[in-house]
Every structure is written in structure tokens, then in C-alpha cells.
Amino acid sequence: NNDTLNNVIPDDDDEPLDLGKQYAEDWTPENRTVNELFEDAVLAYLEENWDRCIEDFNAVLHGYKAYKRMITNCRKKCRSKADGDEPIYPENIDDLHFYEKKVKETLCLLMCNNEYREIAGAKALKTLPRETEQKLVDHRVYEYLHICYYQKKRYQDAANALFTFVIAHPDHETSLQALASYLTLPGVEADSVVNLETAAYVSMYFKAVSAYEDENYVRAVGLFEASLNSYLHEEDECRFYCEGPFDQGWHPEFISSVANHFTYCLKCKQACSNILNNLNGEFRKDMLRNHYNYLQFSYYKLGNLKAACSAVESYLLFDPVDETMLQNKNYYSAQPKVKEEYFTPRQEVVNYLKRQEYEYALLRYISKEFAIIEANYLKLTNIKTPKNETKDSKDKELGKKPDFETALHTPPGHALFSHVNLSKYFSTSREHREYKIDDTEQPRVKEDIYLIAKEEDLDGKNRYVADGFLNSTDCESLMKFAYMNVVEGDGYNENKSPHSKYERFEGITIGRTALMVYFGKIDRKWLELLLEKTELVREHVEKYFGLHRHLYFSYTHLVCRTALPDSPVDRDDLSHQVHADNCLLRDKDTCLRESPAYVWRDYSAILYLNDDFQGGEFFFAKDSVTRELDYVILPRCGRMVAFSAGGENLHGVRGVIRGRRCALALWFTQDKRYLEYERVLASAVLERVRSIGPLEEKNVQVPLKYEDVLVDYATNDESLRYFLKNSS
């Protein structure tokens, strides 16, 4: 199909793509390393030397680009060189060909990196310290830069810099507010505010769309091909940049070390497309495939039916049942000149999707298979609960052991944006697509829930662990929701530290969420997401335990436990002491099913939202006196642990040492009298908001004790009453 790729790019002002050497040559940092430049720039900022601040931070950005290009260029060059080399010995015994290649690649990398450093001056491209690199990855430069621009009254530049920062930190409230005020400054045009870190293909893509809309198909084809090329090239760069160092933090065996580092890189690589598909803060999962859509029509208009058919077939690889594209296919097939073999997808997209599918399947395999090993490993080493725990080095190492399932880490070079839509401030493109909560680029099967551990694995009755209730987008959404809305003391009778003085406990209930939706304070999609995902869990638990009587929700609580900044790393208390959910633990063998225990609770489930914190493991306990851990479960996005709520399932949570741990705690009952009334109200609120919108009252606040307010409205608001009646 190569004829599709030979179009001249009818364009003038785009940068050449491979800038590695050129950057290195341009790179004259007056003998300062990128790191030194960064430090100097911060200093200039602190000294309020705004001109130097602007100059130095721009030099940092420039230098970092050169640094990144150097690294990715070397990795790319050395990979293809090693791939093309004849092996020393023709036969591939014991995978030696693979290792030979890696040895040769290493040699090449050493030399290549040196070459660049020589061109750029001895110190210029010196390896960046990890913390500085992370700041660059997180676009922290713009956090300073906008202020320096602002001070110099360069308002449009300030707005651009701040916008760029906000896209990487969509929850940064003060920056969002500052951005809004920048937009009102003289000379600032909201429409021309840009993300300074937009992927390079994007501008080409939009030029292509314009050409297409102007019916200039020759230009459109050239630009779309160039943009496509650039997209794949940029994704490639991002992937190579992912192949960086990795602190294993322990001393693994050779094979484990290779596999562990490989997994780490793979996760990073899988996130690359998220970055490319984030246009000015708006997530557009279809960017790659859209190219083929435009191309098929443009080629058709130019009379190149072979290329048109090939583009159609390429598009269909992404979505084989797309009706419009299938109609196009029929239409083209009916053309007299079209041959069957024209419908061959383009090679680059076949390779791309095959790799994607393989990598995704491999990651799923890893997360599924290793979860159980991690847990068994922890169990085998027989950790005691922190009370009698002595923190020896072995134990510390152990804490780092399960690296296979570390958080989806941010790929170096880019922040992993959450999917926010900033287009309320700015319109960026002609096509507009609704923001959907669960858009994911990865191919996914619907029924993604799989069992991780059952009774036998867990040495106990009526307990199991399953994964896959939430995908990473759901978790990101819910974490964001939690971040913005959880309230100290909510659901704990206003007690802010009910379990540990080293942690802040915050929660939000269904009732509070419903009230906020009702007052128009938050979008209803959050409530919908909460109800939908927790219902998925309820159904699973009911089915899994083979219950013949209906399982009702009795209480739903999104809880975050955050380690306080000054909490000691070697603290020896638990985040949640050993307990049972429906009885009072008295001594080793007695659990009294009486008030004030929640005796009506029959089953419990905890659905986890994140794992980017330290500590906070859930555990089943043998008994409360020896406090011996029976089985440890590591929270992960979408993982659920479920168990019957009595004394047979004593459990607790180890202290959260660092970071924030959020989970949805769900309690179920088979006694209808105790069903969660807030859920019924929430459904009525949703119905109301869907049909007539939220309440028209301004400035209503949700108090800490919100329950009475909710009931008040439910009894007095006619429309709510209507929906309530209809639901029951």
C-alpha cells in the first residue's frame, strides 16, 4: 500500500521531525546542566527577577526537550541497529539471540549518549536527578513561568503557561481560579490560549481538517498522512522514553528483575496514547482512527480507490461494526474498478493494534496472576500485625516486593492527565465530542470481572477477592470525585479521626452525593457512576454466595484515609483495628451480635479505588487477641474483597504510611427493613434531575448533618415525592 504514503506534505511552517542532533547542537546553556538551570530559574523566581526567571525557565524547557530527544534518539537508533545486526552464532539457543541483542544495544547506548554529550558540551546533557526529571515530567516549570510572565504584564503568555500547567493538574483549584482571572486581563483572548505542550501532530491534524472542509483534498491527504505519521512517531518517542531506569527497591533475582522492569515500562507505554489523545485538556480517544476516516473520503475524492478502500479497512480494525464505515465499504465494493484485495488494512495500523492487543492482554495476565502471588507471599512470610511487629530489614524489603502491580505510573515526559474537559473555557476544535466517563482506548471485553482468590486460598469461610469492577478511568473519576467532595467526619458521627491519630478520615455517603446533585453542586454523572458500580458489586456478591434471598444495600460509604504529613513511618497502630462488621468482639472466641453493633449487616464488600499510597493493606485476622494476620489483600483499582459480616471474618486495615487510600465500603443486608433509604432517595433525585434539572435555589449548602435536610426536601418537594412514589 505504499502509494498512500508517498504524498508530499504541502506545508511550510512545521518543524522537521527529528530534532535530536539539531537540539543538541543548538544547546548552549552557558555550561550549565539542565538541573543547574532549573535551580537557577527557581532562584531567579524567588529573587523576583522576572526577566531572568522567564529566560531561564524557557532554557530549562528547551534543554529538557534536547535531553529527551537525545535519550529517545539513542534508544531508537540502538534498537534498530541491534535488530539489524547478524547474531554471533546463527542458532538461537536458550534465547541467546535476545540477550546478545541487548548486550549490543547497551554498548551502543553508552556510546550514543556520550556522542550527544560531546556535541552539546561536557555537562549539558548530564543525567537529570530523578526529582528534577519528575518536576519536568509534571510540567512544574509552567507553575513558575506564568507568574513571571504575569509580573512582566505578558498576560497572554501567562495564560498559556498557566493553561499548560492546569491541563496536567486539573484539580489544582488556585490555578483554575487564577486562569479564570487571567482571561479577563487586557490583551488576553480566551480563544487563543493554547497548551504549550500539545503533541506536534495536533496542529497538522487541524490544518488537515480545515483543508478537508475547504474541499482541498490534495492538501488534506498530504496533511493527514503527515499527521498520522507524526502521531505514530510521537507515540514511539513516548514509548522509548518509558524505557528508563527503575528503582526496584529490593534485590530481585535476575529473571524477576527483568520481568519486573519490563512490566514497569509496559505500563508506562500503555499510557502514551492517553497523552496524545489529550487535546487542550479534552480527552479524544478517536484521534488515531479519525485519520483513516478522513483519508478514505479524501482519497475517494481524488479518485484513488485503492487507498480509499485500504483506509476503510484500517478504520474497521478499530471498530468492525461501525455502520457508516460498513456502508462505505459496500459502496466502494460496488464500484466497477474496485478489486477485493483493495480492502487490505494498512500495515502500520495492523502492527499498531496487534501490539496494543498483545500488550494489553499481557498486562491483564500480570495483574491477574500476580495478585494472588503477592498476597500469598505476604501470607507465607507470616507478618504479624503492627502491634508485635519488629521492623527488620527483611520486612521492609517485603513491603517493596509486590512491584508487579504498582500504580499505573506516569510516563516520563508527560503527566497522565485525568480526563477533564476545559473546553468550558476554550473551544479548541471544530468537532465536538461529549465527554464520557468510561472512554478507554484499550480494547475491553464487557465482562471483565475475574476471581482472584476464593475460600480455599483465603483459609476462611465466606470470603473472596475479585478484580475488574472498575477500569482505570472509573478509578480516576471516582478518586477525583472523592478528592473534591469527601468530608471529614461524614458517616462517622462527625468524628474526624475515629481510628488513628496519624490519619485523616474523610467520607461521603450516597445521601450527601444525592443532595449535592439535587442542589446542582455536582454533575449527576458522579452519582450515576457510584450507583452503577456498587450495584455491579452487589449483584456479584449475591450471585457468588448463591444467596436465595435478595441482598439489599444497607450502607454505602466512600472513605479515604490519608496519612498526616508528620505521621511516623514506623508507627505501630492500625488504620482500622481488628473487628467484625456485625458483632462486638469481646474476647478471643466471642463476638456478640447485639447493639450497638450493626447486627442487620449480613455481608460486606470493599471496592478499592487506588493503590498509589504506602501501607493500608486489608487483612483477615485469625483472632483478635494474638492479632495474627491470616491473609493480606493489597488494595488496587477495581479490586473487591467480599465476606460475610460476622465473627468468622475478623478483619482490619494496616496503617496508611503515606498518601491517600480511598475505597467504597459496602454493607448488605437480607432484611428489607434495613435497606439503605438514601439510595432510594438518590434514585428519585436522579429521576428528577434528569427530567427537570436540579433545584432552582441558589446558595444552599449541604451541612455536615445532611440527613434531615434530605428528608425535608423528599417530603416537601412535589417532584421528588412524585418520583419517590413511582419508584416504590
**Contacting positions for ligand AKG (CB under 6 A):** 576, 581, 606, 618, 651, 653, 663, 665
Question: Which part of the chain contacts Fe ion (CB under 5 A), choosing from 9-17, 211-219, 309-317, 577-585?
Answer: 577-585
Question: Which part of the chain contacts Fe ion (CB under 5 A), choosing from 5-13, 279-287, 576-584, 718-726?
Answer: 576-584
Which is closer to ligand AKG, CB of 169 or CB of 651? 651
Q: Shortest approach of Fe ion to residue 644 CB, angstroms?
A: 12
Q: Shortest approach of Fe ion to residue 653 CB, angstroms?
A: 8
CA-based nearest residue to 6, from 222, 184, 152, 165: 222
Yes or no: say if 415 and 166 are a contact pair by the CB < 8 Å rule. no
Peptide bond into 87 cis (omega under 30): no
Q: Which three cell numbers stand for residue 16?
A: 522537521
Query: Distance between CA 598 and CA 415 in Å, rounded?
Result: 44
Q: Shortest approach of Fe ion to residue 702 CB, angstroms?
A: 26
Which is closer to Fe ion, CB of 313 or CB of 581? 581
Residue type (1 letter), 219: R
Which is closer to ligand AKG, CB of 405 or CB of 581? 581
Yes or no: say if 144 and 45 are a contact pair by the CB < 8 Å rule. yes
Residue 665 binds which of Fe ion, ligand AKG, none (CB < 5-8 A, kind-dependent): ligand AKG
Task: Classify the phi-psi angles of 644: left when phi > 0, otherwise alpha if psi is within -120 to 50, otherwise beta.
Answer: beta
Which is closer to ligand AKG, CB of 274 or CB of 669? 669
Q: Shortest approach of ligand AKG to residue 487 CB, angstroms?
A: 16
Residue type (1 letter), 267: K
Q: Shortest approach of ligand AKG to residue 680 CB, angstroms?
A: 23
Residue 59 binds which of ligand AKG, Fe ion, none (CB < 5-8 A, kind-dependent): none
Q: Which three cell numbers stand for residue 394?
A: 527483611
Q: Shortest approach of ligand AKG to residue 598 CB, angstroms?
A: 10
Q: Mapping DSSP to helix (H, G, I), strand (E, B) and coil, where does residue 14 land?
A: coil
User: Cβ atoms within 10 A of the Cβ of 202, count?
Assistant: 23
C-alpha 633: how far from chain center: 22
Q: Shortest approach of ligand AKG to residue 547 CB, angstroms?
A: 20
Which is closer to ligand AKG, CB of 108 or CB of 465? 465
Query: Distance between CA 222 and CA 7 in Å, rounded?
Result: 5
Q: Shortest approach of ligand AKG to residue 575 CB, angstroms?
A: 8
Residue 540 binds which of Fe ion, ligand AKG, none (CB < 5-8 A, kind-dependent): none
Q: Shortest approach of ligand AKG to residue 617 CB, angstroms?
A: 8
- End-to-end distance of the chain based on CA atoms, in angstroms? 61
Which is closer to ligand AKG, CB of 33 or CB of 649? 649
CA-based nearest residue to 260, from 100, 359, 399, 401: 401
Which is closer to ligand AKG, CB of 449 or CB of 665? 665
Residue 553 binds which of Fe ion, ligand AKG, none (CB < 5-8 A, kind-dependent): none
Q: Shortest approach of ligand AKG to residue 552 CB, angstroms?
A: 18
Residue 606 binds which of Fe ion, ligand AKG, none (CB < 5-8 A, kind-dependent): ligand AKG
Residue 224 binds which of ligand AKG, Fe ion, none (CB < 5-8 A, kind-dependent): none
Query: Distance between CA 438 and CA 188 in Å, rounded?
Result: 34
Backbone angles phi, psi at 565, to 5 degrees: -55, -35
Beta strands per DSSP E along 564-717: 574-579, 584-587, 590-592, 603-608, 614-615, 618-621, 629-633, 640-644, 651-654, 656-658, 660-669
Q: Return the residue nearest ligand AKG (CB atom).
A: 618
- The residue to which cell 503492627 is assigned: 386
Query: Distance between CA 397 and CA 22 in Å, rounded?
Result: 44
Which is closer to ligand AKG, CB of 36 or CB of 676? 676
Question: Which part of the chain contacts Fe ion (CB under 5 A), choosing from 220-228, 376-384, 578-586, 632-640?
Answer: 578-586
Establish if 602 lies at the interface with Fe ion (CB under 5 A): no
Q: Shortest approach of ligand AKG to residue 582 CB, angstroms?
A: 10
Q: Which three cell numbers stand for residue 192?
A: 487563543
Q: What is the DSSP string of 257-316?
A: HHHHHHHHHHHHHHTHHHHHTEETTEE-TTHHHHHHHHHHHHHHHTT-HHHHHHHHHHHH
Task: Looking at residues 38 to 57 of the shown chain, list those that interact with Fe ion (rule: CB under 5 A).
Answer: none
Establish if 243 lies at the interface with Fe ion (CB under 5 A): no
* Alpha-carbon distances, residue 142 vs 3, 148, 161, 164, 210 (angstroms): 43, 10, 5, 7, 30
Query: Distance between CA 127 and CA 123 in Å, rounded?
Result: 9
Query: Distance between CA 552 and CA 533 in Å, rounded?
Result: 15
Residue 686 binds which of ligand AKG, Fe ion, none (CB < 5-8 A, kind-dependent): none
Query: Distance between CA 405 and CA 423 in Å, rounded?
Result: 34
Q: Shortest approach of ligand AKG to residue 508 CB, angstroms?
A: 14
Residue 653 binds which of ligand AKG, Fe ion, none (CB < 5-8 A, kind-dependent): ligand AKG
The distance between the two most distant Cα atoms of the chain, rounded to a whole number of Å, is: 85
Q: Return the residue nearest Fe ion (CB atom).
A: 581
Which is closer to ligand AKG, CB of 514 or CB of 650? 650
Residue 538 binds which of Fe ion, ligand AKG, none (CB < 5-8 A, kind-dependent): none
Which is closer to ligand AKG, CB of 32 or CB of 627? 627
Q: Give the binding-site size for Fe ion (rule: CB under 5 A).
A: 1
Q: Which three cell numbers stand for residue 588?
A: 478471643
Which is closer to ligand AKG, CB of 241 or CB of 618? 618
Backbone angles phi, psi at 433, to 5 degrees: -125, 140
Which is closer to ligand AKG, CB of 204 or CB of 662? 662
Which is closer to ligand AKG, CB of 306 or CB of 651? 651
Residue 618 binds which of ligand AKG, Fe ion, none (CB < 5-8 A, kind-dependent): ligand AKG
Establish if 581 lies at the interface with Fe ion (CB under 5 A): yes
Task: Name 408's Cβ contacts closer than 8 Å, sequence gap at least 6.
Answer: 267, 270, 271, 416, 472
Query: Distance between CA 540 and CA 563 in Å, rounded?
Result: 32
Q: Shortest approach of Fe ion to residue 579 CB, angstroms?
A: 6
Question: Which part of the chain contacts Fe ion (CB under 5 A), choosing from 84-92, 581-589, 673-681, 707-715?
Answer: 581-589
Which is closer to Fe ion, CB of 143 or CB of 581? 581
Chain residues in the site for Fe ion (CB under 5 A) = 581
